[in-house]
């Protein structure tokens, strides 16, 4: 009986040992497969762009790069959005990561801190490209002063409004609301009520974006600052939350829920048929208008400011191209990233996808592009200009998922089971203790 | 005589080992290493890429004493298990009792009720999100026909978990098939004897059918209990931003563990969570196994 157990036990011990080691193997795996028969360096480039619209665009950029020089050959690997980054993490842990990967811009610093992405300082010192990008985007890639990814694309949030509806309601279609007070006033004028039902709703602030964008708009800064100070339970946030619950009380849950369902269904967005006067969304919402409601007469504007002079801050996200830690040919990877985020490739991407890009020159050229229609140019150039008022929300390294402690509290406010004051106090305390816990020792 | 018997015994033992070999090999080659590694790493601040320093029981202490979301997620999961396991078991037995009748077209019904078990995954969840939509969904529309003002289902924290339990009830077909097979195996002579003794259908069901299928009930309860504790996908897909909302009502244990592991990269912490879950499930399964001889009836067996 004793003998029977020795073999499995030895096996167990050895496999434990092996898995234990694998965790730290972030070094190079210099196998021969990184070079092809022509002696070119082969790079594996991971993206989640597999749709019939985006895939051809990114593959054209890759082909152009491959043809532009004879040192490097990039191969595209498409991985679904749902698991690209968990797969990347596993590949990094296994010591055989891809050479370039597209990842979320707001968590770039975290990946730098965790040693998942390569520090680009070494390349930067010789060949600084940071000036090509919107400063806000570039800053989001920094951890302790060094960049860990190069911004690729981005977005912002803008106010779309129905010009015909404005005219009908006696408003000037060239004068969209500029403050929260005007927003309320215009919305009330745009409302069309028939008995208990609405035929048209002027505006509801929590369709298209969430409460945090309004707080960002009001504050002009993030919930947690550089010194890990938590700024959630503030006078401005309280006012914002009360303002938002005011809208909710005005229209009532039934109306809000049924409209929300239509908005979620995309084709049925009530903005398309004029039963919603104003709507906040990313500039790419224009492509839906183009596809589902071509003859809609609409305009775009900045998000209104809380009070005059407060600033029209909007929120944006985006993606970076980065080199995973342990990649075999970082110099070649960096060469490709430079091309990918350079003006030419970026402009092509911007025009073909109607997407905001990180490269300033490319974004400005795209705004002039004659491939856009008149409406397209209007939206795109407005969005490009708006980048200067757009803030990102890079996750604080000390508490990457702190929003997981805030969102439920705000949910409860909107469900009516907490007062705004209670919710903000509790969220503030929870996030403070989270940061305290994570930064201890 | 004694010698040949022991030789046979040994041979049987060997066959036994050969038959369980595929599982043992799979376990040793693929599961055991990571399993023990996770136990070890749960005492470290392992984050996959940059550090793995021994921190003692800090992860476990932090979970029990400082992490409110840990308790929320544990409570949500317990709530779900507590309701979904008995309800789906009773539902499956009820359904299979109905589908065990000899009426015309029974095959069509069996197929229909089994069908949801074939469909699975995200597609079904998206379908249910549409069905349960408070404004435009089919469920509230039909409730409206009989004068019921339906709840907000996935938007009301009090109704989110019941929503998922209803969805689970819809797909009891899989377990139903097991019960049905087991019911068909119950000897007709038992029913005939009961009928002669004057037992009505209900008594036959409770005194013959139920005891005879207890082994399958036992199996079903144990596996669905374990499966219930592992609920993840439903919440990941059906809650707002995959975060477990509204108001954390769908923040299940595994969803929170996933967030710790892959959003915060607190892999050591997440591994500690997985071991706590393992211990909970292990204890419950042990209790189940201990209680089993009291109510599970094995035909022709000596209560093994």
Say whether pLDDT at A16 is over 80. no
Q: Hey, what long-range contacts does B35-44 have (CB within 8 A, 24 or more apart)?
A: B36/A12, B36/A16, B37/A16, B37/A19, B37/A20, B38/B271, B38/B274, B38/B275, B39/B271, B39/B275, B40/A16, B40/A20, B41/A23, B41/B267, B41/B268, B41/B271, B42/B268, B42/B271, B42/B272, B42/B274, B42/B275, B43/B268, B43/B272, B44/B268
pLDDT in tens, A255-297: 888 888 788 877 789 999 999 999 999 999 999 999 999 899 9
- Assigned CATH for A158-315+398-439: 3.40.190.10
Given CB atoms, is B126 within the 8 Å cutoff of chain A?
Answer: no
A110 neighbourhood in chain B, CB within 8 Å: 265
Residue A229 tokens read as: 């100070």
Domain assignment present for residue B42? The answer is no
* ipTM of this predicted structure: 0.83
B36 neighbourhood in chain A, CB within 8 Å: 12, 16
Which sign does the torsion angle of CA A4, A8, A10, A11 carry?
A: positive
Residue A314 tokens read as: 């909007």
Domain assignment present for residue B98? The answer is yes
Domain assignment present for residue B12? The answer is no
CB pairs under 8 A between A and B: 103
pLDDT for res B6: 83
Given CB atoms, is B136 within the 8 Å cutoff of chain A?
Answer: yes
Separation between Cα atoms, residue B190 and residue B204, nearest integer Å: 9
For A411, the closest of B49, B246, B263 (CB atoms) is B246
pLDDT for res A4: 42
CATH of the domain at B84: 1.10.3720.10
Domain assignment present for residue B7? The answer is no
- A415 vs B28: CB contact, 8 Å cut-off? no
For B49, the closest of A114, A257, A258 (CB atoms) is A114
Residue A32 tokens read as: 């021969």
pLDDT in tens, B131-150: 998 877 899 999 999 999 88
Q: With a CB-CB cutoff of 8 Å, which residues 43-82 of chain A face chain B?
A: none
Superfamily of domain A32-154+317-391: Periplasmic binding protein-like II (3.40.190.10)
- A407 vs B245: CB contact, 8 Å cut-off? yes
Separation between Cα atoms, residue A216 and residue A393, nearest integer Å: 9
Q: Is the bond preceding residue B246 a cis peptide, omega within 30 degrees?
A: yes
pLDDT for res A441: 60
pLDDT for res A26: 40
Given CB atoms, is B155 within the 8 Å cutoff of chain A?
Answer: yes
Domain assignment present for residue B302? The answer is no
Say whether pLDDT at A100 is over 60. yes
CB-based contact A287:A293 (threshold 8 Å): no
B158 or A21, greater pLDDT:
B158
pLDDT in tens, B15-55: 999 999 999 999 999 999 999 999 999 999 999 888 899 99
CB-based contact A319:A104 (threshold 8 Å): yes
pLDDT in tens, B163-183: 999 999 998 988 999 999 999
CB-based contact A324:A341 (threshold 8 Å): no
Domain assignment present for residue B283? The answer is yes
Question: Coil, strand, or helix at residue B278?
Answer: helix
Which residue has 């507590």 as its token pair? B82
Give the domain range for residue B274.
64-295
β-strands A142-143, A100-104: how paired? Answer: unpaired
Separation between Cα atoms, residue A248 and residue B133, nearest integer Å: 19
Mutation for B interface: A11, A13, A14, A16, most B CBs within 10 A: A16
Crossing angle of helices B267-295/B253-262, nearest 10°?
160
CA B94 to centroid of chain Cα atoms: 18
A430 neighbourhood in chain B, CB within 8 Å: 68
Separation between Cα atoms, residue A2 and residue A82, nearest integer Å: 47
A93 neighbourhood in chain B, CB within 8 Å: 48-49
Domain ranges of chain A: 32-154+317-391, 158-315+398-439
Mutation for A interface: B18, B49, B248, B267, most A CBs within 10 A: B49
Say whether pLDDT at A15 is over 50. no
Buried b (16+ CB within 10 A) or exposed e, B14-44: eeeeeeeeeeeeeeeeeebbebbbbebbbbb
Residue B66 tokens read as: 């400082």
What average pLDDT does the structure give for chain B? 91
Separation between Cα atoms, residue A119 and residue A148, nearest integer Å: 5
For A12, the closest of B36, B133, B248 (CB atoms) is B36
Our count of domains for chain B comes to: 1
- Report residue A25's pLDDT band, with 50, 70 and 90 as the boundaries: very low
CB-based contact A175:A189 (threshold 8 Å): no
């Amino acid at each position: 009986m004793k003998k029977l157990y020795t073999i499995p036990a030895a096996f167990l011990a050895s496999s434990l040992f092996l898995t234990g080691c694998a965790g730290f193997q972030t070094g190079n795996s210099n196998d021969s497969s990184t070079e092809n028969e022509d002696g070119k360096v082969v790079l594996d480039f991971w993206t989640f762009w597999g749709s019939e619209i985006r895939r051809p665009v990114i593959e054209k950029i890759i082909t152009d790069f491959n043809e532009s020089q004879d040192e490097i050959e990039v191969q595209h690997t498409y991985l679904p959005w749902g698991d690209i980054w968990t797969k990347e993490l596993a590949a990094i842990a296994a010591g055989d990561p891809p050479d370039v990967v597209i990842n979320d811009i707001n968590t770039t610093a975290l990946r730098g801190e965790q040693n998942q992405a390569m520090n680009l300082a070494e390349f930067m010192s010789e060949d600084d490209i940071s000036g090509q990008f919107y400063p806000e985007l570039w800053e989001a890639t920094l951890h302790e002063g060094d960049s860990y990814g190069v911004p690729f694309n981005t977005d912002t949030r803008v106010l779309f409004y129905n010009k015909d509806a404005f005219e009908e309601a006696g408003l000037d279609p060239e004068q969209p609301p500029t403050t929260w007070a005007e927003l309320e006033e215009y919305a009330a004028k745009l409302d069309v009520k028939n008995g208990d039902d609405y035929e048209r709703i002027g505006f509801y602030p929590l369709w298209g974006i969430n409460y945090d964008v309004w707080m960002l708009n009001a504050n002009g800064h993030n919930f947690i600052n550089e010194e890990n100070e938590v700024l959630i339970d503030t006078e401005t946030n309280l006012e914002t939350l009360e303002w938002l619950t005011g809208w909710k009380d005005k229209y009532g849950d039934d109306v809000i829920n049924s409209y929300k369902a239509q908005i979620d269904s995309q084709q049925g967005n009530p903005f398309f048929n004029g039963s919603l006067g104003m709507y906040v969304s990313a500039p790419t919402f224009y492509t839906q208008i183009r596809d589902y409601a071509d003859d809609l007469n609409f305009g775009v504007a900045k998000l209104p400011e809380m009070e005059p002079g407060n600033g029209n801050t909007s929120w944006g996200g985006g993606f970076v191209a980065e080199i995973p830690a342990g990649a075999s040919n970082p110099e070649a990877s960096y060469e490709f990233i430079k091309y990918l985020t350079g003006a030419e490739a970026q402009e092509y991407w911007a025009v073909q996808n109607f997407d905001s890009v990180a490269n300033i020159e490319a974004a400005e050229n795209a705004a002039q592009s004659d491939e856009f229609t008149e409406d397209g140019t209007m939206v795109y150039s407005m969005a490009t200009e708006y980048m200067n008022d757009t803030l990102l929300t890079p996750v604080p390294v000390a508490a990457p998922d702190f929003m997981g402690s805030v969102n439920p509290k705000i949910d409860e406010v909107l469900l009516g089971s907490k007062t705004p004051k209670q919710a903000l106090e509790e969220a503030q305390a929870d996030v403070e203790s989270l940061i305290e816990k994570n930064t201890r020792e | 005589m004694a010698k040949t018997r022991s030789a046979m015994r040994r041979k049987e033992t060997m066959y036994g080992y050969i038959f369980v070999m595929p599982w043992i090999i799979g376990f040793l080659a693929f599961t055991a290493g990571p399993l023990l590694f996770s136990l070890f790493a749960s005492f470290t601040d392992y984050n996959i890429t940059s550090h793995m320093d021994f921190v003692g029981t800090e992860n476990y202490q932090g979970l029990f004493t400082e992490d409110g979301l840990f308790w929320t997620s544990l409570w949500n999961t317990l709530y779900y298990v507590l309701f979904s396991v008995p309800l789906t078991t009773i539902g499956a037995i009820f359904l299979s009792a109905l589908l065990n009748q000899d009426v015309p077209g029974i095959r069509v019904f069996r197929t229909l009720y089994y069908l949801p078990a074939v469909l699975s995954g995200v597609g079904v969840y998206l379908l249910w999100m549409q069905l349960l939509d408070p404004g435009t969904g089919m469920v509230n529309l039909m409730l409206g026909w009989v004068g019921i003002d339906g709840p907000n289902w996935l938007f009301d924290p009090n109704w989110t978990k019941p929503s998922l339990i209803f969805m689970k009830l819809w797909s009891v077909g899989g377990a139903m098939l097991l019960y049905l097979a087991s019911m068909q195996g119950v000897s007709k002579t038992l029913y005939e004897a009961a009928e002669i003794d004057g037992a009505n259908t209900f008594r036959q069901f409770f005194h013959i059918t139920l005891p005879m299928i207890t082994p399958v009930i036992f199996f079903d309860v144990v596996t669905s209990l374990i499966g219930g504790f592992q609920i993840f996908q439903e919440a990941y897909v059906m809650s707002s931003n995959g975060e477990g909302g509204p108001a954390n009502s769908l923040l299940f244990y595994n969803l929170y563990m996933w967030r710790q592991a892959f959003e915060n990269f607190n892999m050591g912490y997440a591994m500690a969570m997985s071991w706590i879950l393992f211990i909970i499930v292990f204890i419950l399964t042990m209790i189940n196994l201990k209680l089993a001889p009291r109510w599970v009836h094995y035909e022709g067996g000596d209560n093994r």
